[in-house]
Amino acid sequence: MEAREPYYAVIFTSRLTDNIEGYAEIAEQMNELAKQEPGYIDFESARDEIGISISYWESLEAIANWKANTEHLFAQEKGIMDFYSYYKVRICLVEREYDFYR
């Protein structure tokens, strides 16, 4: 990810239920759809006991537009009804970043 400070990070932390049939497909669809949204920067995700997904955005307006996307609203509802036993969303301003690569 190329530095564009400041920008925003949406941190989505979740635990899945046992009913995850179709989850991976919807998650991939949402990832591809988000990439088409104005203001989208990047996405990172890891899942073990809990899942942590972070999407990066240029503005709060871009985040609000993504949250209101019709297909994303459907996926959010499906997640609440079937996939998640818990989730939390945090929206953070990233003022600085740095990297290390070996």
Whether residue 50 is contained in a domain is answered as: yes
Residue 68 lies in a domain: yes
| Residue 99 resides in a domain | no
21 is in which domain, residue-wise? 7-94
What is the spatial order of strands in the sheet that 40-47 belongs to?
A: 40-47, 51-57, 7-16, 84-94
Instruction: Judge whether residue 24 has pLDDT over 90.
Output: yes
Give the number of domains in the chain.
1
What's the predicted TM-score (pTM) here? Answer: 0.90
Answer whether residue 100 is part of any domain.
Answer: no
Tell me the average pLDDT of the chain: 95
Measured between alpha carbons, how far is 74 from 63 in angstroms, rounded to an integer? 16
Per-residue model confidence as pLDDT tens digits over 29-64: 999 999 999 999 999 999 999 999 999 999 999 999
pLDDT tens-digit map of 7-18: 999 999 999 999
Residue 4 has a pLDDT of 74
Q: What is the pLDDT of residue 5?
A: 77
The answer to whether 2 and 22 are in contact (CB under 8 A) is no
- Residue 102 falls inside a structural domain: no
CATH of the domain at 56: 3.30.70.100
